[in-house]
Amino acid sequence: MTKPIGPLCNLDCKYCFYLEKEKLFPKNENYWMNDEVLETYIRNYTQSQNTPEIQFAWQGGEPTLMGLDFFRKVVELQRQYSDGRSVHNAFQTNGTNLNDEWCEFFACEKFLVGLSLDGPEHIHNRYRVDKGGAGSHEQVMAGLRMLKKWRVEFNTLSCVTHQSPDEAVEIYTFLKQQGVQFMQFIPIVERVGDRAAHAIGLDLAAPPDLSSVDNPGAMMPWAISSEGFGEFLIQIFDEWVKADVGQVFVNLFDVALGAWCGMEPGLCIFSRRCGQAVAIEHDGGVYSCDHYVYPSYFLGNVMEKSLEEMICSPAQVKFGNDKWDALPKY
């Protein structure tokens, strides 16, 4: 997962855990990934892949802030270094900057776009606001219309908060009415910052060390409990199974079915071990995971080490194994 604009975003979503990562970098940092880092990363990554297809994922912050010319350069470099193999790009956006030019590019280059949309206006605007505190729903819906106009392949990503179980069917129905066929739902689970977080200038707590037995701490007011997330999914499943099987696809249901059939999970969160999906920041810094972009999980920089070397490092191997070896068994 690559974050070419770092934590910068044109929105100020109240539940976003990544915005405050700006505090982890030097003041007056230039968050734009430069051409040298970009080319080194793409060359390094493509050469490390021994598969006929190569997958890239672009996130932020808000990646459209890099400008379209940056992603034209991305595609050019991918063609240069892929040795004729197929390259697929996934692009996660809040949708507010999408226009004809962007969507024509996505359509021509066959990008898969993930659109952040939490549901109808009164739900979406509860947390997804701009820098002035105004809701972003109207702009996001304009972006959705653009994606459909250019027939860009897209899915939606909806954040699930503590209010969501009471709104599950309303959210699902709204997305379906907008013609969304592929839906992702992610639980918002964030803890109030502890002493360690405050020491590095953060308001939200970092994920606890897997070997720690300390109290996990108080949750942020928007966080959803495991029981609440389960209730949310049950309500959506009960609605989906009535008439939408094979017509609407919910990634968590697909993964659950695959697991029931004995298949390896397609989402890292359901794998016994992880560590393959590192996060690459704007400056080429590589971290264990995009949820672990903290100094203690820094693996190195693409300008100094190969991705293969960092992913296979003892620290990252331990990080991946800890998920199975150190998490509680139920």
Contacts of 10 by beta carbon, 8 Å cutoff, 6+ apart: 62, 65, 94, 96, 97, 130, 131
Q: Give mean pLDDT, residues 253-274.
A: 83
Q: What is the mean pLDDT of residues 168-174?
A: 98
Mean pLDDT of the chain: 92
pLDDT of residue 249: 97
pLDDT of 260 higher than 80: yes
* Domains of the chain listed by start with CATH number: 19-325 (3.20.20.70)
CA–CA dist 269, 191 (Å, integer): 19
pTM: 0.93
Cis peptide before 95 (omega within 30 of 0): no
CA triple 234-17-162, angle to 5 deg? 30
> Tell me, what's the pLDDT at 24?
86
Rounded CA-CA distance 297/277 in Å is: 13
Q: Per mean pLDDT, which range of 105-109, 113-117, 210-214, 267-271 is the poorest?
A: 210-214
Q: Which residues are catalytic?
A: 290
What pLDDT score does 1 carry? 92
Q: What percent of the chain has pLDDT over 70?
A: 96
User: Per-residue pLDDT tens for 87-98?
Assistant: 999 999 999 999
First to last CA, the chain: 30
Q: pLDDT grade, residue 210 (50/70/90)?
A: very low
pLDDT of residue 237: 97
CB-based contact 168:236 (threshold 8 Å): yes
Distance of alpha carbon 191 from alpha carbon 193, whole angstroms: 6
Comparing CA positions, the residue from 262, 135, 117 lying closest to residue 176 is 117
Q: What is the DSSP letter of 102?
A: H
pLDDT score at 213? 44
pLDDT of residue 194: 80
pLDDT tens-place string over residues 43-98: 999 998 889 999 999 999 999 999 999 999 999 999 999 999 999 999 999 999 99
